Amino acid sequence: MKDKIYIINGPNLNKLGIREPDKYGTLKLQEIEKICENKCDELNLSCKFFQSNFEGEIVNKIHNAIDENIKAIIINAAAYTHTSIAILDALKMFTGIIIEVHITNIHSREEFRHHSFISKVAQGIIAGFGKESYLMAIDYLYKLINKKV
């Protein structure tokens, strides 16, 4: 039986490919999801993807992860990373592994992006490697799930 993970993306990530391609690259979210799905298949993980521009929908998806006994969450909460106590509170209830991911290096950008509420509950943070941030998170989750770290 495959371990199940969620990959959750926040606001404006549905516009990858046209959103500041100099910072975020030219791949669309669906293309990144396909790359992640292939990586998960390779590692015998089952992944579900979710993207929303609405904070409450992200909170609900985290609640679903609790109810569905999901093993881990990779989350790129985008701008909500820096503002959402509601997402933090939902993640505090999740007992699985949490990896915070960002396509860009949030610490080399505007100062308001340097603070993350999510990092308080994440086992790890990966930022600044484009689509590779997601793949690095999947690799590390696999190791954590299988106690290889």
- Which residues are catalytically annotated? 24, 102
What one-character-per-residue DSSP string does 22-81 give? HHH-S--HHHHHHHHHHHHHHTTEEEEEEE-S-HHHHHHHHHHHHHTT-SEEEEE-GGGG
Q: What is the dihedral of CA 90, 93, 94, 99, to 10 degrees?
A: 60
When computed from its CA atoms, the radius of gyration of the chain, rounded to whole angstroms, is 14
Question: And the tokens for 15?
Answer: 């516009």
Backbone angles phi, psi at 51, to 5 degrees: -135, 140
